[in-house]
Structure 1
Amino acid sequence: MLDKIIAEGEAVRKKCVKDGTYGEYLAGEAYEKWIAKGIIYLEKNHQGETITKNFLEATQSRAGESISNYEKMMGILKAIQEFEE
């Protein structure tokens, strides 16, 4: 499942990018759905762990910070993927 969430995140990054006053940001239903899937996965498999807390904090972004926070979320998911393999 984690592989699928990561692949979906890469597609979302391309599909949901918007241009704003302060540069690019991510928004849209597909982006929000991807975030929700990441949260569900982490809460089921890594509940109470610091890594889950860090992911949740990254989801609380303002539009102008969404690219940076997306990268944090993907980094977390990819690090977990490496350890689970």
Structure 2
Amino acid sequence: MNIYRLVIEGEDIKNEKVEISEDGPIGYGRHYKKWIMKSIIFMEKKYPASVLTKRLIEISENALKNDIKYLEDILLILKAVKETEQDDEEYYGQDEPVIV
């Protein structure tokens, strides 16, 4: 699992057609929840002390109740991380940033 895949998967979920009922959106269910959990695992493994990891976990608590309105917030965090990783790769020429 990598950040690029998580962003693509989040975009796919965002673009899915859903039916709206009185209880909220129908059709995201397990796929949405699984994506949230994979995002948490990724961030905790790769960025355990990051404020973004903590924020993602906070947002996820509501999102796991199948509240789709939090999808965009989670996706924005993942995109910020992705862009940062891309910048590091371009600058350092490798997958992992060099820590001095």
| TM score, norm. by length of structure 2 | 0.71
Relative contact order: is structure 1 or structure 2 higher (C-alpha 8 Å, sep ≥ 6)? 1
- Count of aligned pairs: 85
Q: What's 2:31 paired with?
A: 30
Q: What's 2:68 paired with?
A: 67
Moved over 4 A (4+): 22-26, 62-65
User: Distance in 1 between the 2:81 and 2:8 partners?
Assistant: 14
User: Distance in 2 between the 1:57 and 1:16 partners?
Assistant: 26
Distance 1:74 1:48, change over 3 A: same
| TM score, norm. by length of structure 1 | 0.81
Determine if contact 2:4/2:82 at 8 Å carries over to the other structure.
yes
Unaligned runs of 5+ in 1: none
Unaligned runs of 5+ in 2: 87-100
